[in-house]
Amino acid sequence: MAKVTSRGKARAKARGGAAPQAGPAEAAPPPAAPQPAAPQPRRGTGLPTTGGNPLREGLRVGRMPEPCTMVIIGATGDLAERKLAPALYNLMLSGALPPEFTVVGFARRDLTDEAFRELLRRGINRHSRNRPAKPSIWGSFSRGIEYQRGEFHDDDAWAALARRLARIDRDRGTAGNRLFYLAVPPALHGEIVRQLGAAGLAGSADARTDGRRGWSRVIVEKPFGSDLASARKLNREIREVFDEEQIYRIDHYLGKETVQNLSVFRFGNGLFEPIWNRRYIDSVQITVAETVGVEGRGESYDQTGALRDIVQNHALQLMAVFAMEPPIEFKASDLRDEKVKVLRAVKSMSPADVAEATVRGQYVSGWVEGDKVPAYREEPEVAPDSERETYVALRLSIESWRWAGVPFYLRTGKALGTRVTEIAVQFKQAPLALFARAGAPPMDPNILAIRVQPDEGILLRFGAKVPGPGLQIRGVNMDFRYGSSFAVDSPDAYETLLLDCMVGDASLFTRDDEVERAWEILEPILDAWASGEGGRLHLYPAGSWGPAAADELLEREGRSWRRP
């Protein structure tokens, strides 16, 4: 999260002041402005670079990964086409990958190298932020793309993959560095990891450090299990073959610029961190709203639901990054230590708490963005009497000195009215209502909204006097937007995360104890819902902002949901 280097736009411009006289060219750079108690820079050690190359300093590509091969397991699936191919292409386009970089697709389907390349190219042409693929860049990229057909249970196929990788190391100079991307359903993770180990492809952390051979890393996609027991089992299975340092659990929300900027916002500015606590903050709302329904994922979604699909990973991760203490250094282990501390401080719920502080909903037919959407239960492959939640709202308490008494409201849902992900901080009211008039509505609270998508940016809402006689106060906005403030495109989250993994920076990936702790928080909710003690399922029309019960959850406490 330490990689936002651009300086803020509203840079104070100390104009005036005599310009120093020109001196000889050899003179030292101009003296720094006197700054009493200037903060000491802390050198993070968490960002390995191609250290030692003196020519790299100041270049556009500041950290070039070592040559490596990325093996996409489940390479013919949706993820490879939609996300991985465009991300790799954009990295290639920006010169961020070494020339030796090689991709090997591994899947069941019988494809030639050429057909696999075509599949990736189609993904780029359809989904890349830079498209279509430039023939020149694609030409050199595609020469490093191969395909290995194989069944996941077939030992011979994995042996063939190992031989192929050894050959690539020789021919293309990838030096034994391998990145395995598990783009397959989690049920297969255990088997695949076991096979990687059996084929001698997992390497080990020890072998990595003595420099004899390359590194080996594995990227695992969510969901990380479906409950605490299965998550533990999965972690155990992967760790039988890979060390925790080799495992990169990807949560693409953490790769988004705004989420990385959250740390810069808090810890890089002197203004905000002092008010980032229970003394000034009234409550926090985290919203992950989608307009889409289940879109053909009916069968798997009906096993999962909103709590497992979004809250367990994205929403709790956003909350952890928002609420964590300043890490000692901006490196992976410190960041993840701080995040897990937040999760550990979340108060466990009793069945009565679940009934009181959670609301689950399911959409019925309605209109979203002008289109008629069928009810969830009418979606293909969804049980007609399904009790699966497509919406969840909950109140969590973080029992720490910083956050005691500040409710964290989380909500997420499908087929809602607007697609938006944001964290909104509501500040406490001024202690004295100087401007209150009899009969006038109370003043709007101050809001700080951190918008993750779309229109990424930060908005601060405060009261201002309406021009004219009398004293009328209305909320106004100070609005920072990424799109209009930097004149550069933000990389896609997958670009950031793949590159981080290749250079060995795990800051934006989730550690095993975070995953397990997140499940521990949710387990009582899942149990209480299953037993019926946790309150009933509420219905909401597609295109609305969720069930009325969710509004009541906040109204009981004198608050209301934002309409972002």
Partner 1 sequence: MNRTAAAKRALAVHRRLMRFGEAESIVAEPWVERGTTVRAIEAYLARLWQDQPADDDATVTETGRHHARASVLNLIVTVPDEAAAERVVETMVGLGQRHPSRAIVLAADPQAGGLPLSASITAHCHPGPEDGERVCFEVVVLTVRGEAAEHLAGIVAPLLIHDLPTHVWWPGDPPFADPIFDQLVEMGDRLIIDSSDFGDLLRGARRLANLRRRSGVGDLAWRRMGWWQELTAEFFDAPRFRRYLPNLNRLTIRYAVPAARSRRRGSRRRRDPADLGMEVSSPLAGPILYAGWIASRLNWRRHATRQPLKDGRLHLVLEGRYEMVDLLLEPVPSDELRPGDLVSVRLRVFGEAGAAEFIIERSGDEAVVASNCDGMTALLRRMPMEQPTESELLAADIVTDEHDRVYEASLRAAAVFLASAREMDAAG
The residues annotated with a catalytic role in the active site are: 314
Treating both helix axes as pointing N-terminal to C-terminal, what angle do 135-142 and 85-93 enclose, rounded to 10 degrees?
110
CB of residue 113 to partner 1, shortest distance in Å? 18
Alpha-carbon gap, residue 23 to 372, rounded angstroms: 72
Q: Select 12 or 434, whichever has its Cβ closest to partner 1.
A: 12
Residues that bind partner 1 (CB under 8 A): 6-7, 9-14, 19-26, 29-30, 50, 52-61, 64, 66-67, 95, 98-99, 134, 136-137, 139-140, 173, 418, 451, 453-456, 459, 461, 475, 477, 479-490, 563-564
- Least distance CB 17 / partner 1 (angstroms): 9
185 vs 454, beta carbon nearer partner 1: 454
Q: Which of 179, 192, 207 is nearest to 68 (CA)?
A: 179
Toward partner 1, which CB reaches closer, 347 or 481? 481
Give residue 208's Cα distance to chain centre: 28
Beta carbon nearer to partner 1, 80 or 501: 501
Rounded to a whole number of angstroms, the minimum distance from the CB of residue 56 to partner 1 is 5
Answer yes or no: are the C-beta atoms of 381 and 557 closer than 8 Å: no
CA 413 to CA 289: how far, in whole Å?
Answer: 5
Within 383-512, strands assigned E span 391-397, 407-413, 420-427, 447-453, 457-465, 473-481, 509-510
Task: Give the nearest distance from C-beta 206 to partner 1 in angstroms.
Answer: 20
- Contact, 370 vs 41, CB < 8 A? no
User: Measured in Å, how far apart are the chain's first and last C-alpha atoms?
Assistant: 25
Q: How far is the CB of 5 from partner 1 (least distance, A)?
A: 9
Give the SS3 label for residue 563. Answer: coil
Q: Looking at beta carbons only, is 197 or 366 nearer to partner 1? A: 366
Three-state DSSP at 188 gives helix
Nearest CB to partner 1, comparing residues 374 and 564: 564
- The size of the chain, in residues, is 564
Angle at the Cα of 158 (from 157 to 159), degrees rounded to 5?
Answer: 90
3-state SS record for 396-424 = EEECCCCCCCCEEEEEEECCCCCCEEEEE
Residue labelled with tokens 């989380």? 410
Using an 8 Å Cβ cutoff, are 402 and 392 in contact?
no
Q: How far is the CB of 459 from partner 1 (least distance, A)?
A: 6
Q: In the chain, what are the helix, strand and coil shares in percent, each to the nearest 5?
A: 35, 20, 45
Q: How far is the CB of 29 from partner 1 (least distance, A)?
A: 8
* Cβ proximity to partner 1, 253 vs 509, nearer residue: 253
Q: Please, what is the Cα angle at 187 between 185 and 190, to 5 degrees?
A: 110
Residue with tokens 């969840």: 392
Min separation Cβ 488 and partner 1, Å: 5
Nearer residue to partner 1 within complex by CB, 30 or 431: 30
